[in-house]
Chain A
Amino acid sequence: MEQILTLIYLVASVTFMVGLKMLSKPDSARKGNLIAAAGMTLAIFATIFLYTDANGNHLGNLSFIFIALIVGTVVGWIMAKRVQMTAMPQMVSFFNGMGGACAALISIIEYNHMVHTSGGDMSGFMSSKGLIILAGLVIGSISFSGSIIAYGKLEGKINDFSLKGQQVANIGLLLAILVVSVLFQMGQISGSAWFFTILGLSLFYGILFVLPIGGADMPVVISLLNSFTGVAAACGGFLYNNYVMLIGGILVGSAGTILTVTMCNAMNRSLLNVLVGNFGGGATGGGGGTTTQGSVKEINKSDTAILMKYAKKVVIVPGYGLAVAQAQHTCHELETLLEEEGVEVKYAIHPVAGRMPGHMNVLLAESNVAYDKLVEMEDINPEFATTDVVLVVGANDVVNPAAKTDPTSPIYGMPILEVENAKNVIIMKRSMKAGYAGIDNELFYRPKSFMLFGDAKDTLVKLVTEVKAL
């Protein structure tokens, strides 16, 4: 029996690797996800029926385990099926938090178990097992509370918040966790109160760690917390000498870290800069040095419609505003309509457009926009010179020329979509309010730029009507 379990764990570990590999290519991604899911299902049921402890005993409490599995499956399935595509990032964050909480709970139970079986003598804790239990507790609970805060922020339930000297407080808190954990593990301090102090401090750290980070940087944070949970899962691998947990956990831990760094690179910022130097801090003051003069020109909907209908080539730049207004379907409608009129329509996708990298692609694909119409930044930039109309829908910082021209700007160095090279740039925005980075956008004042104010969805609906009426 034990040999079969080992074999199944081996198979499951391979499915995780193959699955992740396939997930990194568009053609095979969906299959890769299903393969990993099949491996996971196999590993779960094999554990339930085949796992034996050192004395050869099978697992008990099977009815409870099955009830818990059913409850989790039903709730998870419904949540995942019902969630709006625009709310995907926070959903991922939520599920990630659940994994973290699971890892932390395992540590708590194992600790209680040690306390009970040893009759209060905690010398057994000064072993590698104790170390692993503590690591799982700390990492799991940071991941849990951090993910829940990230979830709340993206849902708009929690606002950005930072204390004066928050970075110092965070580092101090992290040091406190480390010191208390080391002392506790070495037996210098003992008693369950300390164990739960470590739990409390870790949960608190997770909250403080995520709170000051701005909404647009949440994807990076979620990706980072994702890799934390991976490491917490790997702790379980050490605890139970379980290779599938170890492999699954470490794979996600390392892949997640690389993904985090890749996301930061797409914004041309370092991870440290995202975590510590959030926008809105000292940077805004400096960036204000180049207050743009002049006034913006407004354009009305019927003129926009005319401009687009008689254009040869239109490029739509979707951004965060489109995601928030859930205007992706209307946007697709406008695109189809223009195509019927013989206009060439493309979408310019900035690597960090929307709420997460790749989020715009998911949203537009949802509304049946053809895959080859979504053009990545490097490929579309040379095309702007031959574009008649660029329609910027709810994007701001990703088209701000200051990123190229103004070294004092907080976004200086971030690659942008060079829409200013097009013949006409129409910017759909709710108001003149600055974008996420909190800086003015010089693009709005350019001679070829026109502002079209209003809610992204309303405006697009009206544009569709106008184009039809022409």
Chain B
Amino acid sequence: MGFLSFIQENIQMIYLVILMIFVGIELISHVPSVLHTPLMSGANAIHGVVIIGAIIVMGQAEGTLSLIFGFIAVVLGTLNVVGGFVVTDRMLEMFKKKK
């Protein structure tokens, strides 16, 4: 069974997943509603970490098709990361304290 062997082979990572679920909940459980939009945008940028997978795939790509797809994947992943962080920064820039 794919599913059971999956658990068996990745048990360490599965423990990590469970812990991270709780960390994620804990980290943002007391956010004022003011910060919902920037927080969502910041989290959006963080899942851009998928770009690391795209870089690995691209770095090992052989054949034109894989290269093209890999190239697109890296571009889109970068868009997610760069766009995400810059947009979040622009939103938060406005929260600066008034004298």
Contacts and interface: CB of A to CB of B under 8 A. Distances in A.
Interface of A: 12, 16-17, 19-21, 23-26, 29-30, 32-34, 36-37, 40, 43-44, 47-48, 51, 53, 58-62, 64-65, 67-69, 71-73, 75-77, 79-81, 83, 85, 88-89, 91-92, 94-96, 98-99, 101-103, 105-106, 108-110, 112-113, 116, 126-128, 130-132, 185-186, 219, 222-223, 226, 229-230, 232-234, 236-256, 258-259, 262-263, 266, 349, 351, 356-359, 361-362, 365-366, 368, 370-372, 374, 376
A76 B45 contact: no
A64 B54 contact: no
25 contacts: A20-B39, A30-B93, A36-B45, A36-B46, A36-B85, A40-B81, A47-B55, A59-B58, A81-B90, A92-B87, A95-B80, A98-B76, A99-B76, A102-B54, A102-B74, A105-B73, A112-B69, A230-B43, A245-B52, A248-B46, A250-B24, A262-B31, A349-B34, A372-B98, A376-B33
A232 B39 contact: no
Contacts of A72: 74-79, 81-82
Contact of A32 (B42, B51, B87, B97): B42
Contacts of A229: 44, 47, 50
Given A244-B52, A351-B33, A61 B61 contact: yes
Nearest to A57: B60
A130 B37 contact: no
Contacts, number: 381
B13 A238 contact: yes
Contact of B71 (A68, A94, A262, A351): A68
Interface in B11-42: 13, 16-17, 20-25, 27-42
A contacts with B: majority SS: helix
Contact of A40 (B29, B43, B46, B95): B46
B contacts with A: majority SS: helix
Contacts of B47: 96, 99, 226, 229-230, 232-233, 248-249, 252-253
B52 A251 contact: no
A102 B36 contact: no
A19 B49 CA distance: 14
Contacts of A30: 89, 92-93, 95
Interface of B: 2-3, 5-6, 9-10, 13, 16-17, 20-25, 27-61, 63, 65-67, 69-95, 97-98
Given A64-B67, A110-B57, A259 B87 contact: no
Nearest to A83: B87
| Shortest 9 CB-CB contacts between residues of A and residues of B | A72-B78, A59-B59, A254-B24, A236-B53, A128-B6, A248-B49, A76-B82, A76-B83, A80-B86
Contacts of B36: 259, 262-263, 356-358
Contacts of B22: 254
Contact of B21 (A16, A48, A110, A250): A250
A102 B76 contact: yes
Given A252-B47, A255-B43, A53 B60 contact: yes
Contacts of B91: 85, 88, 362
A254 B3 contact: no
Given A36-B45, A103-B53, A253-B24, 18 more contacts: A20-B28, A29-B42, A36-B42, A36-B46, A72-B76, A77-B82, A95-B84, A101-B76, A106-B73, A229-B47, A245-B52, A250-B20, A251-B20, A252-B47, A254-B25, A258-B29, A356-B40, A376-B34
